[in-house]
Amino acid sequence: MQWMIMPFRRYADFQGRSRRMEFWMFQLLNLIVGLVLAGPVMFSVVSSGLADPAAIDVDPFAAIGALGWTGIGLYALYALAAFIPSIAVTVRRLHDRDLSGWWYLGAIAASLIPLVGFLASVALFVVLLLPGTRGPNRFGPDPKDPFESEVFA
One DSSP character per residue, 107-146 reads HHHHTTSHHHHHHHHHHHHHHHHSPPPSS-BTTBS-SS-T
Q: What is the mean pLDDT of the chain?
A: 86
DSSP state of 102: H
Report if pTM > 0.85.
no
144 in any annotated domain: no
Largest CA distance in the chain: 75
143 in any annotated domain: no
d(CA 84, CA 17): 16
Burial of residue 22, with CB atoms counted within 10 A of its CB: 0-12 exposed, 13-18 middle, 19 or more buried: buried
117 in any annotated domain: yes
Rounded to an integer, the average pLDDT of 134-148 is 83
Range of the domain at 44: 2-129
97 in any annotated domain: yes
67 in any annotated domain: yes
pLDDT digits (tens, 9 = 90+) for 64-107: 777 778 888 999 999 999 999 999 999 999 999 999 999 999 99
pLDDT digits (tens, 9 = 90+) for 46-73: 776 655 666 556 666 666 777 778 888 9
15 in any annotated domain: yes
Q: How many domains does the chain have?
A: 1
61 in any annotated domain: yes
pLDDT digits (tens, 9 = 90+) for 118-140: 999 999 999 999 999 988 889 98
139 in any annotated domain: no
